[in-house]
Chain A
Amino acid sequence: MAPNDMTLSRRGFLAGSGGLVFALTLGVPAEEALAQGASPQAIGAWVRISPDGAIVIRAPAAEMGQGVQTIVPLILAEEMDADWARVQVETAPVAEVFNNPAFRSQFTVASLTVKGYWMPARLAGAQVRRVLVQAAAERWGVAPDAVRTEPSVVIGPSGQRLTYGEIAAFARVPETLPAVQPADLKPVGSFRLLGRDVTRVDMAEKSSGRTQYAADIRLPGMLYATVARSPASGQRVARMNREEVAALPGVTHVLDLGHGVAVVGRSIPQVFAAREALRIEWSGSPPGAAVDSERDKALYLSHLRDPNRRPDVVFSRTGDAPAALQSAARTLTREYVSEYCYHAQMEPMGAVAHVRADGADVWTGTQWQTMAAMKTARITGLPPERVRVHQLMLGGGFGRRAHTEYIDDAVTLSKETGAPVKLLLSRADDLASGRLRPLTAQRVTMGLDSEGRIVALRHVVACEPVTPYMYGAERWRAVEGRDVITMRGSSLPHYTVPNQIAEHIHEMRGARVAAWRGIGCGYTKFALETMVDEIARDLGRDPLAYRIAMAANPRARAVLERVREMSGWPNAREGRHLGAAFAEYGDSLNATVVEISLDRALGRIRVHRLWAAVDVGLPLQPNTIVAQIEGGAIFGVSAALKEEVTIRDGAVVQRNFHDYPILRADVSPEIEVAILRGSDTPTEVGELGLPPVAPAIANAVRGATGKGLYHLPMTPERVRAALAG
């Protein structure tokens, strides 16, 4: 679809003759939600029913492969009792009515999309259904209670039928939408759509190259741009060979943006070649310019070991861990390190912007549409209603596209040049300006009673918090030093450990840091779950049986027992070793077993098979959940074995996939996933596959060799060193 068609189709959507348009405000009490009819405000319309029976439902969140473009509309369709075959999903514009109530923003992070939209989308669907039912009942002169619905049709007491389309031809959306309470919703057992797989709405296009991502947009008179960002945040350009680069073929502008240099020109290859020729000397010594991953690791560890260095904040606490550690029969302390990681989303950052005197259009794939629109208005000085962000599919997000700096640059460049601009980062610049999972050092102490039960846990994490860099100083003050991104997973809520404390040492280094798939759980669970395993094995207990005995609730026990069964635990094939781990992510649970082989001479670990038993509350789309767990697990194996960004003098050293390798198909494990239904509410999925993978691998190695691995990634070099130690 050409960009201009998108504008048209949106207008068409609003001005379509006849039919019903429902503008529903999610997250406010149903009785307050106002119907806005087909007025211009109906830009926020969620649902439109045409007289021919076609139903359009808008999808409010960012689709990056996790299936929300399908699932959120499907939830609405379920309560509406829509015939899914007649539903067309359209990407929602940026408007308050499409906010995820969990964030009061169109923001797709932390696996909270389905969980956040779940109840409001159901209530909205139920309201639409009620309007249709009332209209039909009125026409027939019967009580609304006397009619029922089948997919897209209302059926009266004597068998009369009116399809939703027929009703749309005569009915009006009332001034005030009927109130619907949670008690009026369908019981889970009578769902027609949810719980059964439908084909994702983006699947056919993605299987034939027709899906549009930011870089696929072409506008007449468009210029191309790329940006060389300062290696560390806050550096400025001291000198550059501007004239030389500006004279290269196809180059139209070389602009100092303050935080970097933009090369603008007539084609991407010309712009990329000119960027390669760019020589920049950076000035200023912001804190980030001193980041050195090699040296900082040692620094963080020294902070953990320093008895006079009190952690900056207590992140969570239950019971009295310090006292319980004092009186424990035995204690064990271990230290862990994890390196900086890069998102490595397959689509490099990019956006197309067209800024004019009377308005601005932006085409991009972002995890934060609301922020993109706000910043576009701020940069252009245009009123917000003159700014349109056309959300496209995201070529991977994983937290990276929650940052919108690449959109700012495209908007700035279009404003400066007066032309539509397509901005695209080369892989090297995408990596150099990556927002990384922070480097961490952790120190964990566990106390055991005389029976070998864990009675106390102290977990200290030393790392750069993500909140200040991502959300700014004001938010950082508001959360009082509690960084939910980096500290996620730092306790053991599903084991009966009565005394726990998790603390954070704030390493304010000024590195560019971000939420990354699994957020804190990617390393906190590595520490906690390898230590639990180590304790079990040292006691001569089976590590899975030990965890099951310690499980604090039936849900945790169920996933552990299920994965034991699936994996044939503890019997491994010849030359293979099994390792297990358990992790929660939000309200979801994952027990994973890996089967590995280990080349002791080379120090090379290979994961051959992986079993995951997950409890995701109420599973809405089983096949999509399996796909997400598979993807998270493979991401996890990749991170556990390979991924490491080195920073020297504030600059990322790696350049591309040759020195930042990610897992390839030839060494990808076979994966089996079992989904357990633990409740009647859908819970987190996207991040859930990753957390137990790294500890399960380390536990398999320790089971096979007696040697522990305490440093992520577990590269051949580190494995060899551990085996020799």
Chain B
Amino acid sequence: MGAFTINGRRVTTDAAADTPLLWVIREELGLTGTKYGCGAAQCGACTVHLNGAAVRSCVTPVSAAEGGTVVTIEGLAEGNGNGPHALIRAWTEEQVAQCGYCQPGQIMAAAALLAATPRPTREQIAEHMAGNLCRCGTYPRVVRAIERAAREA
């Protein structure tokens, strides 16, 4: 039995230790904002924060979260008492999403960037976001939304 905190809530799981965190989050805890895209750390659709760092939950065993703190897109959208993360609004303002499937992962990756680098340059953004694929081609808007959030935060 494993236990960790997710979006401020303490949860336990019976999943085997090597179960990818992604499936525990999605199927056991019902937090379906985190997506499956490749299962192989290639696309970033499954990005969540584990103890403050962006990780690919599809290749992170649930045992790695033991006793730790996980934040998903739902947590970022709720915010912790002071409203949604600045990125959430910036994303709507810049009309980033197309099909939307990659976007939770994009936003989680962006949040990790801004936490470490509050005013990133365009190159830093492009570099950092290269791990998150978007087949709809929203990259230019992802960049603009991050710049907006950095400005408005």
Which positions in A face B, CB cutoff 8 Å? 64-66, 199-200, 202-213, 215-216, 218, 267-269, 272, 343-348, 393-398, 424, 426-427, 623-624, 627-628, 630-635, 656-658, 662-668, 670-671
Contacts and interface: CB of A to CB of B under 8 A. Distances in A.
- Label chain A's interface by main secondary structure: loop
B102 to A, nearest CB: 5
B12 interface: no
B99 A396 contact: yes
Contacts of B74: 208-209
Contacts of A205: 100
Contact of B38 (A216, A427, A670, A671): A427
Given A202-B100, A631-B136, A207 B91 contact: yes
B95 A216 contact: no
Contacts of B15: 267
Contacts of A199: 92, 95
B92 A668 contact: no
B54 interface: no
27 contacts: A65-B100, A203-B97, A204-B92, A207-B91, A207-B103, A208-B74, A209-B73, A209-B107, A216-B26, A267-B23, A268-B23, A268-B36, A269-B23, A346-B101, A347-B99, A398-B135, A623-B95, A630-B137, A634-B139, A635-B135, A657-B43, A657-B133, A662-B133, A664-B133, A665-B126, A665-B132, A670-B140
Q: How many interface residues does chain B have, given as a range? A: 35 or more
Contacts of B42: 427, 656-658
- Label chain B's interface by main secondary structure: loop
Contacts of B132: 665
Interface in B76-114: 76-77, 84, 88, 91-92, 95-104, 107
Nearest to B31: A209
A671 B150 CA distance: 22
B98 A627 contact: yes
A212 B99 CA distance: 11
Contacts of B92: 199, 203-204, 207
Nearest to A213: B101
A627 B91 CA distance: 13
Contact of B142 (A210, A397, A665): A665
Contacts of B142: 665
A664 B135 contact: no
Nearest to B87: A207
B32 interface: yes
Contact of B32 (A204, A216, A346): A216
Residue from B20, B74, B99 whose CB has the most chain A CB atoms within 10 Å = B99
A65 B132 CA distance: 17
Residue from A207, A212, A631, A658 whose CB has the most chain B CB atoms within 10 Å = A207
B19 interface: yes
B36 A656 contact: no
Contact of B99 (A395, A630, A657): A395
Contact of B98 (A65, A218, A268, A658): A65
B99 A632 contact: no
Residue from A209, A397, A427, A664 whose CB has the most chain B CB atoms within 10 Å = A209
A267 B19 CA distance: 10
A200 B97 CA distance: 10
A664 B127 CA distance: 9
A65 B84 contact: no
B97 A207 contact: yes
